[in-house]
Chain A
Amino acid sequence: MNEIVIKQNIVPNVWLMGIYSPQVAKKAKPGQFVILRVTETGERIPLTIADFDSDKGIVFIIFQVVGKTTSILSTLNIGDSIADFVGPLGMPYEQDSNDKSYLFIAGGLGIPAIYSKVKMLHSQGKDIEIIVGGRSKENIFFEEELRKYCSSLYISTNDGSYGQKGLVTDILTQLLENGKRYDEIFAVGPVLMMKAVVDITKKYGIKTLVSLNPIMVDGTGMCGGCRVKIGNEIKFACVDGPIFNGFEVDFDGLMKRNSYYQDLENLSYKEHKCKIGLGE
């Protein structure tokens, strides 16, 4: 159970893994995530279900090494098992059958969160355009895979080493100013990016969905740690989300909550690096 059957280093610090988990693979739908615990002393962390193969019982995750847990996970190899792997969690992506044209915007590690949705909508013959952005050329991945499912793929990098220099929102502004319109825009990535996207699309009144990433513990609605303000209501992102109407999200509140444990997380990562001999 929970055996790693596929492992690939996609770009520096970003890994793709296929985990053997037939029960999760059987129920997974685009938009959902898993919670995993790597070791017996480990924490529970959420990761998006990037893709799944129900027949083979494999769930694909893509993660960036940012701290202790993702770092330990990245050192596991094919044949190793993860202590716990539970899901699928969250509400699946719900599409409006009237919608025909879509723009997906993925910043950084947002790519895994759009992949399975794009694939599904493409199979239904929808018109799809995609903007992906990253810091630099080496942060852009899955370009070929995504191209298969969309009519246009736009790329931006902050340093201009690949695609257009600048931000995903620069491209978004250009597209909208040039008269492009979409039935739905779906943005996922850093909170600041999603907020910037919504600030633009609001002006055009284009329906915009975002996928939120608050700090989670259980992922089943029993702790309330993942609570976010949506409109005037408090919602638990793990059971009510993680996808929400972007116009209603309190992004500033989310950003503050996400930084709460930063100092402790850094401490635990540093200790871990010292232990394995990578410390400074």
Chain B
Amino acid sequence: MDVLKRVPIKEQEPIERIHNFDEVCFGYTPDEAAMEAQRCLQCKNAPCVKGCPVEVKIPEFIQLIKEKKFKESYFKILETNLLPAICGRVCPQETQCEQNCVRGIKGEPIAIGKLERFVADWFRQNCEFEFSKPQPNGRKVAIIGSGPAGLSCASSLAKMGYEVTIFEAFHKLGGVLYYGIPEFRLPKEVVEWEIENLKKMGVDFRTNMIFGKTFDLEDLKQEGFDAVFISSGAGLPNFLNIEGELLNGIYSANEFLTRINLMKAYKFPEYDTPIKLGKKVGVIGGGNVAMDAARVARRLGSEVYILYRRTEAEMPARKEEILHAKEEGIKIVELVSPVRFIGDESGHVRALELVKMKLSEEDSSGRRSVKPVHGSNFVFEADNFIVAIGQSPNPLVKKAVPDLELNPNGSIKVDESLMTNIEGVFAGGDIVTGAATVILAMGMGKKAAENIDRYLNAKKHENL
């Protein structure tokens, strides 16, 4: 075995997987995992841990894999990361834990994410979830939104003895984990298992409840909630604001992925929600959302082009997903920026006018900016376009709490303890940070739980 190289992991062949929505990566077997764990140097100062936003005890859990103590390893990860099966799959490891791995200096870094995922999958398949209910402390917390921030906050609070209710606008739970990230990257079964466990812990879930429409802060107070955690995500799709964006055949990535993931339009007509996609599809953007949209479109049988303003090197998407997309035959058109959509008389889009872009020298922050090249416009024909240029916080929450203080970009303003300007109301996840990552959202949910506990304990003392 070459210690500089990772133990290879089995994946579905590109030629097969573009015809199904099954998970691409099969994950390690116990032996493979133990072998990969052997490569870990058990560094004393463990730089990998510093790269992880929630400081997973990486050398410790890997050591336990080495010893094939998978259950113990799972609980070791759980000490700081509630959702290892999910983070192991979707974290941008190459810029976090794995980027700092000492093994990476000469060879390939330890496959920390893949190991994390292995342990969690092993546990899910081999063990029963057990939970000894703590003594209820008689206090109630309401959580708005069932994405990773809300789920982790609920879990932490439930362990402390709180009575927790999660209110979710949709008919399905999990937030972006359910309606955004597709099945072939994150099987819904994994998300559902986590949610079932929360239910076993006594967390109450109420779907079809929209904060700002179905209920507001006043209703929560009347129902006796002592504190509120808002984790409603960044769900508002950004558009390009260029000519022709109203044409048929142009989807926001949110609409496209919602139709597919939440409404199962890829199973139409067994499922009633339709989706229409022609032979050739252009996806605008370079992040995870663009990759997911492109790869879904590929699986629906289209020829797919990613249209990106910069070059592949600057794409914010995870490297692994860019690689997977390319393996699946998706083409990347670099250095182009949309100018206007062109449609036919029936109101259907036929093409997108693009202008070529040029990268400038690195600025002081090391980022290279782009400028349009005058007169380089050209027309890119396609049957559909998917706009994946980011999401902003949805303004609905503001309607539920008119006094809530926001930042200029519409995100919720919080202090160090994640409390908003309204006492007892906390916020975290994408609604605070803007579109970010699962692990950050999860970390904030946990931190909010600790602060909610501190706040309510202090309040109790005041009242005595």
Q: Is B170 an interface residue (CB 8 A)?
A: yes
Docked Cα-Cα span, A256 to B213, in Å, equals 30
Q: Is B395 an interface residue (CB 8 A)?
A: yes
Name A13-61 residues within 8 Å CB distance of B: 23-24, 27, 37, 41-44
Q: Are A224 and B241 in contact (CB under 8 A)?
A: no
DSSP class of A's interface residues: helix, strand, loop or mixed?
A: mixed
Say whether, besides A89-B213, A222-B237, A260 and B270 are in contact (CB < 8 Å): no
Most chain A C-beta atoms within 10 Å of own C-beta, residue among B208, B215, B270, B274: B208
Docked Cα-Cα span, A118 to B300, in Å, equals 47
CB < 8 Å neighbour of A271 from B169, B215, B249, B269: B269
Q: Is B20 an interface residue (CB 8 A)?
A: no
Q: Are A223 and B237 in contact (CB under 8 A)?
A: yes
Residues of A within 8 A of B237 (CB): 222-224
* Interface size range of chain B in the complex: 35 or more
Residues of A within 8 A of B169 (CB): 86, 218, 220
B212 → A minimal CB distance (Å) = 9
Known: A44-B263, A221-B395. 5 other contacts (CB 8 A): A24-B214, A37-B171, A87-B213, A87-B214, A268-B272
Residues of B within 8 A of A24 (CB): 214
Q: Are B274 and A264 in contact (CB under 8 A)?
A: yes
Q: Are B214 and A86 in contact (CB under 8 A)?
A: yes
Say whether, besides A83-B171, A218-B170, A223-B252, A253 and B246 are in contact (CB < 8 Å): yes
Q: Are A268 and B396 in contact (CB under 8 A)?
A: no
The 9 closest A-B pairs by CB, nearest first: A256-B347, A223-B255, A222-B235, A264-B274, A43-B272, A86-B208, A224-B252, A43-B273, A268-B269
Residues of A within 8 A of B213 (CB): 27, 87-89, 220
Residues of A within 8 A of B268 (CB): 264, 268
Docked Cα-Cα span, A229 to B207, in Å, equals 31
B391 → A minimal CB distance (Å) = 8
Q: Are A257 and B210 in contact (CB under 8 A)?
A: no
Q: Is B328 an interface residue (CB 8 A)?
A: no
Contact with A along B300-326 (1 / 0, CB 8 A): 000000000000000000000000000
CB < 8 Å neighbour of A43 from B210, B215, B263: B263
Contact with B along A256-269 (1 / 0, CB 8 A): 11001100110110
B393 → A minimal CB distance (Å) = 11
Say whether, besides A253-B347, A256-B248, A234 and B394 are in contact (CB < 8 Å): no
Docked Cα-Cα span, A89 to B170, in Å, equals 13
Residues of B within 8 A of A257 (CB): 246, 248, 347
Residues of A within 8 A of B170 (CB): 218
Q: Is A217 an interface residue (CB 8 A)?
A: yes
Residues of A within 8 A of B269 (CB): 264, 267-268, 271
CB < 8 Å neighbour of B235 from A221, A225, A253, A268: A221
Residues of B within 8 A of A220 (CB): 169, 210, 213, 235, 394, 396
Q: Are A68 and B273 in contact (CB under 8 A)?
A: no
Residues of A within 8 A of B259 (CB): 217
A157 → B minimal CB distance (Å) = 31
Q: Are A217 and B396 in contact (CB under 8 A)?
A: no
A72 → B minimal CB distance (Å) = 9
Contact with B along A63-105 (1 / 0, CB 8 A): 0000011000000000000011111110000000000000000
- Work out how many contacts link A and B, with CB atoms closer than 8 A: 115
Chain B residues close to A by CB (< 8 Å): 169-171, 207-210, 213-215, 235-237, 239, 241, 245-246, 248-249, 251-252, 254-255, 258-259, 263-264, 268-274, 276, 346-347, 394-396
Q: Are B241 and A234 in contact (CB under 8 A)?
A: yes
Most chain B C-beta atoms within 10 Å of own C-beta, residue among A24, A42, A88, A218: A218
Q: How many residues of A are counted as interface, with CB atoms below 8 angstroms from the partner's CB atoms? A: 41
Q: Are B258 and A23 in contact (CB under 8 A)?
A: no
User: From A255, which residue of chain B is reached at the shortest CB distance?
Assistant: B347
A89 → B minimal CB distance (Å) = 6
Docked Cα-Cα span, A229 to B347, in Å, equals 14
Q: Are A221 and B394 in contact (CB under 8 A)?
A: yes
Residues of B within 8 A of A85 (CB): 208
Residues of A within 8 A of B347 (CB): 253, 256-257
Residues of A within 8 A of B246 (CB): 227-229, 234, 250, 253, 257
Q: List 26 A-B contacts (CB under 8 A).
A: A24-B214, A42-B272, A43-B272, A44-B273, A84-B171, A84-B207, A84-B208, A87-B214, A89-B213, A217-B255, A217-B273, A218-B170, A220-B169, A220-B210, A222-B236, A222-B237, A224-B237, A224-B252, A224-B254, A225-B251, A227-B239, A256-B347, A257-B347, A264-B274, A268-B268, A268-B269
Docked Cα-Cα span, A260 to B252, in Å, equals 15
Residues of A within 8 A of B273 (CB): 43-44, 217
Docked Cα-Cα span, A115 to B396, in Å, equals 27
User: From A68, which residue of chain B is reached at the shortest CB distance?
Assistant: B272
Residues of B within 8 A of A264 (CB): 268-269, 274, 276
Q: Are A41 and B254 in contact (CB under 8 A)?
A: no
